A and B are shown apart, each in its own frame.
Chain A
Amino acid sequence: MSTTEKKGERILHTPPPFAALASAHDGARNSGMPLELDWVRDVRVNRSAVERRAATIGTRRTVKKQWQAAWLLRAVTDIDLTTLAGDDTPGNVQRLCAKARQPVRQDLLEALGAADLGITTAAVCVYHAYVETAVRALEGSAVPVAAVSTGFPAGLTPFPQRLAEIRASLAAGAREIDIVVTRAHVLTGEWEALYDEVAAFREACGDAHLKTILATGELGTLRNVARASLVCMMAGADFIKTSTGKEPVNATLPVGLVMTRMIRRYRERTGYDVGFKPAGGIRTAKDSLVWLMMMKEEMGERWCKPELFRFGASGLLTDIERQLEHFVTGRYSAAHRHPMA
């Protein structure tokens, strides 16, 4: 692999060989890298080709029978079980947490031979106001609480306030912080501003897990999605996440494919593993399988597990439970047969 020089700067679109870097930071947390504007500006995304690939992932692959059941259980463990509504109360947050601890009926887990797998959702995701409630409700379990933060969902509150919000949520016991970026930085190409913003959020997070929400439905183009993904990773994001769930268009496969490919390129370039979280609009068991298949095809099995992959979802879990019961009993199930979140 040749490294070309141009005006004294390293051109970054030709990364070093995969193998050489794959182990450079094996398992280590992404500590980011200096902003490489050439790399950001050089990103190419062909929308039509991306859409074609995205459209065939679910037609090239499928899982049936016990494979499907196993994959659906895996999907359950990837869920950031979420409630982000104006009418949230301690009551419904506690209910959500109870569901996170025991997302699938015990009898079904036993029938599936999965009772000992310790299946919980990956996290519970709430507004700051309910972090403490959730932390208390999840005591004794390994399920972390994630707080949406930094002026979620628009991210346009005063900057010091956004940093303070992160710190407040951490103080309240949140172990994961889902921040939103300033879309205007992306739309106007202010990559330094985006980088600085995310880097500041990362610093505020300390050891907590930082997920950066790009709000892809508001970024206009897939190329912007790709560029924003890169900048967020350079600034130290642990995860990149598609959406707040509040934009008109949330997680779509083409967007997911573009972000996933950027994660792969960032890994090839730096050796760091960055996680991916599609959020919003993923409602069916079938949807979740297609997303997992995309992750497996593009990134391998490691990116199908909660360390590197999450679903931001609420209703998804119920559909998965129904499918699991169908697998166990051979009969189609109903939502009311499963405890609600």
Chain B
Amino acid sequence: MNVRPIAEIFETLEYGPAPESATLANEWLDRHGRDFGLYIDGEWVRAEKSFESLNPADAKPIARVADGSKADVDRAVAAARAAFQSWGKAPGHVRARYLYAIAREVQRHARLFAVLESMDNGKPIRESRDIDIPLVARHFYHHAGWAQLMETELPGYAPVGVVGQIVPWNFPMLMLAWKIAPALATGNTVILKPAGFTSLTALLFADIVARTGLPHGVLNVVTGGGRTTGMYLVEHPDVDKIAFTGSTDVGRTLRTATAGSGKRLSLELGGKSPFVVFEDADLDSVVEGVVDAIWFNQGQVCCAGSRILAQEGIAAELERKLKARMETLRVGNPLDKTTDIGAIVAPVQLETIRGYCEKGTAEGATCWQPSGDMPSEGWYFPPTLFTNVQPAATIAQEEIFGPVVVMLTFRTPEEAVALANNTRYGLASSIWTESVNLALDIAPKIKAGTVWVNCTNVFDAASGFGGYRESGYGREGGREGLWEYVKPEWETKLEAPAHGEDARPESESEPESESGSSKAAVARNGKGGLPAIDRTAKLYIAGKQARPDSGYSLPVVAHDGALIGDVAFGNRKDIRNAVEAAHKAAGWGRATAHNRAQVLFYIAENLAAREAEFADRIRAMTGADADDAGREVRASIERLFTYAAYADKWDGFVHHTPYRNVTLAMPEPIGVMGVVAPATSPLLGFVSTVIPPVAMGNTIVAIPSEAHPLAATDLYQVFDTSDLPGGVVNIVTGKRDELAQVLAAHDDVDAVWYFGSAGGSGMIERLSIGNMKRTWVDYGRPRNWFEREQGEGHEFLREATQVKNIWVPYGE
């Protein structure tokens, strides 16, 4: 008992202790004997092994948590699969009622959740109470709405199935909600694997959800280690999708582990988010923004604004103000209501943070920490500011995941953008300026899934959250987040891939030198006794025909074996050149949508003018009859019209987030995309896969059908006459999967679409981990490109764009 006299406090005006009671949380823990099982099929199941969950505030154990085994995961997946049969077919209204009930239960037990979260994770009660748990409830309410509206708003879409969800320790409950709410709303069943450090609120959640009468097996919680329990789930053959939030390294592991399996994968990974301060910003408000950016949740936030970029004229003043503010931050007991910065989740994380700070100092940066007290027990780290930091410094590049911010300076808006984008990540960013012109100029230029203007770390269920670049793919929240948990209904009708097919190219053609072989020479005899004029389709790079680096070409044979031409034998260097050309054509993404539409209409017009010629070519290559070949050309023209039409109609949204602001969800081009076109329907397949990303403003490196490449190579004359800027579409012919491999492994390619074999699909996914590029593959299940449902539409446009949410608060 503190007996500090009132008369003394009357002078000093210090804050006393203001502890939040942990009594009810402890009672709940005691009721479970502080020893938890797994929640599978609506029951608590004992596991063979267990481990301790520790309180970061004092390093003492709180409870024992089950360590899920492979058999446990099997059981949970089986339960989820069984439950999916009815849950996946339940009317949206039924699911809406359950989600609504869950939201109510969360709200009813809000303080219990908040206290338990702070005990288990170390975050200040102010945050768990005022931010995390209210957002959790909001997420379930919002998605109760989506369940209700799914039949109306997502016609033709079905749930993905059984979903494995793996959440991190920094926002155990919030990430749980972000995962579970959209999954259940859209009819999936779930196995949730909480983080090993922080399992308790997920178990409380299961305990409480059980009271809503949610059908058994719809939600299962399997605790355990990431490398063990988590991987059992990831590798389980009957799991249809994995959703993960965590580090980019683990994201890579999961991408590798699921490659080629056909499992859907959404990843929300790390970040090194820029916090850009222009000289006309309200600097006092900026300082509070920094507090919210990096001293929220001890900086253990994937979207933490950990890189302050300050315009040179105000950098010194900002630094001074920031240091003054840091002196008033209170580091201490997470359950004290006056704590700003709580405890770091675990000693291993504390060591990581310390290591980065030592490295920062060793590399020449200046470290500054305020003079305030730190608790003697538990795992704490003071708020830390690094100045004199250069972009090359480790602490300016790596995600520290602690209360450590680095400050760099810039001269011009252009330089600010360059520095902001000088990172492998692209999760979030914030921009501080009083100029709406500047803010709305910079927001689209920063490569990040979320841009906060004059605010930071603001979240809502109605707004999609997720990364660009190595910060992952997929969105959570909003309409854009639903797509992660649904698939087109027609997909279920597709035939399974042929067994035993591997990544071998589909044709057996061998390269020939440009001089040609005698066999080829024979075949080249033209009509009327005259030798044909030799015509070898070159590569098409940067709007020009280019000879292949190899100096070889590949023969193209007709369906009957006759030689009908040659194409360039492209190799990795040609891909490299094509990628560079595609980057140089990035201005296409900034062209107006109307302008892009006009170009696509023009391509259609010029293709129509040569309809007969293209039909002949298709006949010659594939043996199609005249009707079918003509149909393919006409379908291709129509498809060009479709995407010309969409070019200026793939609008974004203004989300209804509960703040005074406009939350703009803007679909943006992904950047440079590799497109491996389907083998069949050589013209229609090429147009159907290359044109949607072009319409959306991407620039393309395309690999046409290996067997029938001439339909694509003929197109470049059409492109040339249709005002398509050079470099927007680059065509590299050759061995499909060899070229695809180079594209997939290229770290400056932002996405790859692959329509080919099952083996090739796996290869693409495996190789994508270098820069965590987005992939879209068909696992060797060919689409019918003539069917509109399969061959065109929203799915293509979604895969060709990424949604950026820009938060613009207003009010003078």
Chain A residues within 8 Å of B, Cβ to Cβ: 1-2, 4, 14-15, 17-18, 44-53, 56, 59-71, 73-74, 112-114, 116-117, 221-223, 261, 292, 296-297, 301, 304
Contacts and interface: CB of A to CB of B under 8 A. Distances in A.
A59 B134 CA distance: 14
A59 B16 CA distance: 15
A45 B282 contact: yes
Contact of B454 (A46, A56, A222, A292): A46
Contacts of B5: 66, 113
A123 B281 CA distance: 39
Given A62-B337, A221-B812, A44 B13 contact: no
A60 B329 CA distance: 10
Contacts of B723: none
A73 B6 contact: yes
Given A63-B18, A66-B4, A47 B812 contact: yes
Given A59-B126, A60-B340, A50 B16 contact: no
Interface stretch (B312-320, B412-420, B593-601, B642-650): B312-320
Given A15-B317, A73-B10, A117-B10, A46 B285 contact: yes
Given A49-B288, A49-B455, A223-B812, A44 B18 contact: no
A63 B330 CA distance: 14
Contacts of B16: 63-68
A329 to B, nearest CB: 15
Nearest to B285: A49
Contacts of A73: 6, 10
Contact of A304 (B13, B130, B324): B13
Given A4-B313, A50-B285, A68-B16, 17 more contacts: A44-B280, A44-B283, A45-B285, A46-B282, A48-B455, A49-B454, A53-B288, A63-B16, A63-B18, A66-B16, A67-B14, A70-B6, A71-B13, A116-B7, A223-B812, A296-B13, A304-B13
Contacts of A64: 16-18
A86 B14 CA distance: 41
Interface residues of B, number: 46
Interface in B1-27: 2, 4-10, 12-18
Top 10 closest pairs, chain A to chain B, by CB:
A67-B16, A49-B285, A70-B9, A48-B809, A46-B282, A44-B282, A47-B811, A70-B6, A53-B288, A70-B10
B15 A67 contact: yes
A113 B13 contact: no
Contacts of B285: 45-46, 49-50, 53
B10 to A, nearest CB: 5
Interface of B: 2, 4-10, 12-18, 126, 130, 280-286, 288-289, 292, 313-314, 316-317, 320, 324, 328, 337-338, 340, 434, 454-455, 660-661, 809-812
Given A60-B338, A69-B6, A14 B313 contact: yes
A261 B279 CA distance: 18
A254 to B, nearest CB: 10
Nearest to B288: A53
Of the candidates A15, A60, A301, the one having the most CB atoms from chain B within 10 angstroms of its own CB is A60
Contact of B811 (A48, A59, A63, A65): A48
A46 B434 CA distance: 7
Classify the secondary structure of A's interface with B.
helix
Nearest to B328: A297
Contacts, number: 116
A17 B320 contact: yes
Contacts of B8: 70
A112 B7 CA distance: 8
Of the candidates B6, B282, B314, the one having the most CB atoms from chain A within 10 angstroms of its own CB is B6
A186 to B, nearest CB: 14
B480 to A, nearest CB: 24
Contacts of A48: 454-455, 660-661, 809-811
A261 B281 CA distance: 15
Of the candidates B9, B18, B284, the one having the most CB atoms from chain A within 10 angstroms of its own CB is B284
Contacts of B337: 61-62
B13 A292 contact: yes
Contact of A261 (B284, B661, B810): B284
B540 to A, nearest CB: 50
Nearest to A301: B13
B800 to A, nearest CB: 34
Contacts of A222: 812
A105 B8 CA distance: 20
A18 B324 contact: yes
A66 B454 contact: no
Nearest to B283: A44
B288 A52 contact: yes
A14 B311 CA distance: 13
Contacts of B130: 56, 59
A112 B5 CA distance: 9
Nearest to A44: B282
A74 B13 contact: yes
A114 B812 contact: no
B320 A18 contact: yes
B9 A66 contact: yes
A14 B320 CA distance: 11
Contacts of A49: 282, 285-286, 288-289, 454-455, 809
A112 B292 CA distance: 38
Nearest to B323: A18
A221 B282 CA distance: 15
B625 to A, nearest CB: 66
Nearest to B811: A47
B14 to A, nearest CB: 7
B440 to A, nearest CB: 16
Nearest to A119: B10
A283 B519 CA distance: 100
A45 B10 CA distance: 33
Nearest to A268: B320
B293 to A, nearest CB: 12
Contacts of A114: 6-7, 10
B15 A61 contact: yes
21 contacts: A2-B313, A14-B313, A17-B320, A46-B281, A48-B810, A49-B285, A49-B455, A50-B285, A60-B126, A61-B15, A61-B337, A62-B337, A64-B17, A66-B2, A69-B6, A70-B10, A70-B13, A71-B13, A73-B10, A114-B10, A117-B7
